[in-house]
């Protein structure tokens, strides 16, 4: 399931709900991305995520479908926020469920790596010296290319 939303979410509650009532799942893997309070030595006051409504959902659905084709997943969940958020708040949650851990862990890492290089989101940081758009990192491209 894909959810793109402005509202804050509670990763713990989402994960409990994700696995609730399922006794066929042996493994749940998850990743939660949080807003950090500093970047390259500069204090981050807040972060605003812009996205491309419509394309964002399409890309995330495509990435999720790819993961479910590559690994035997029983379920998957991607929640990604947009709008303004403060340090410590969750930005993204990816969860995968499978019979065994290897598929769940690999699919979770794959979903994050592809999401970071393909889903149309852009981060703008608010710092004491002003606002800056975050630059993409080459290490993210390398991480996505390993799959």
Are 74 and 99 contacting, i.e. CB atoms less than 8 angstroms apart?
Answer: yes
Are 44 and 35 contacting, i.e. CB atoms less than 8 angstroms apart?
Answer: yes
Nearer to another protein, 28 or 112 (CB): 112
Nearer to another protein, 74 or 80 (CB): 80
DSSP 21-81: T-SS--EEEEEEEE--SEETTEE--EEEEEE-TTHHHHHHHHHHHHHHHHS-EEEEEEEEE
Nearer to another protein, 77 or 116 (CB): 116
Which residues lie closer than 8 Å to 67 by C-beta, 6 or more apart? 73, 76, 96, 107, 110, 111, 114
Does 147 bind another protein (CB under 8 A)? Our answer is no
Task: For the CB of residue 23, give the shortest distance to another protein in the complex, in Å.
Answer: 32
List the one residue from 123, 126, 127, 147 that touches another protein (CB under 8 A): 123
Nearer to another protein, 62 or 100 (CB): 62
Task: For the CB of residue 123, give the shortest distance to another protein in the complex, in Å.
Answer: 5
Are 46 and 85 contacting, i.e. CB atoms less than 8 angstroms apart?
Answer: yes
Contact characters 55-94, another protein, x per CB under 8 A: x--xx--------------------x----------xx--
β 73-81/2-5 pair status: parallel
- List of residues contacting another protein (CB under 8 A): 33, 49-52, 54-55, 58-59, 80, 91-92, 112, 115-124, 133-136
């Amino acid at each position: 399931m894909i959810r793109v939303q402005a509202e804050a979410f509670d990763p713990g509650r989402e994960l409990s709900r994700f696995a609730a009532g399922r006794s066929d799942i042996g493994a749940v893997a998850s990743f939660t991305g949080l807003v950090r309070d500093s970047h390259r030595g500069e204090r981050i006051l807040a972060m605003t995520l812009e996205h491309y409504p419509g394309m964002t959902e399409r890309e995330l659905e495509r990435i999720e479908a790819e993961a479910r084709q590559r690994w035997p997943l029983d379920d998957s969940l991607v929640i990604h926020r947009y709008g303004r958020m403060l340090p410590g708040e969750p930005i993204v949650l990816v969860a995968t469920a499978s019979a065994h851990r290897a598929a769940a862990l690999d699919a979770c890492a794959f979903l994050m790596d592809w999401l970071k290089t393909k889903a149309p989101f852009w981060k703008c940081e608010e710092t004491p010296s002003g606002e800056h758009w975050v630059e993409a990192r080459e290490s993210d491209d390398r991480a996505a290319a390993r799959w």
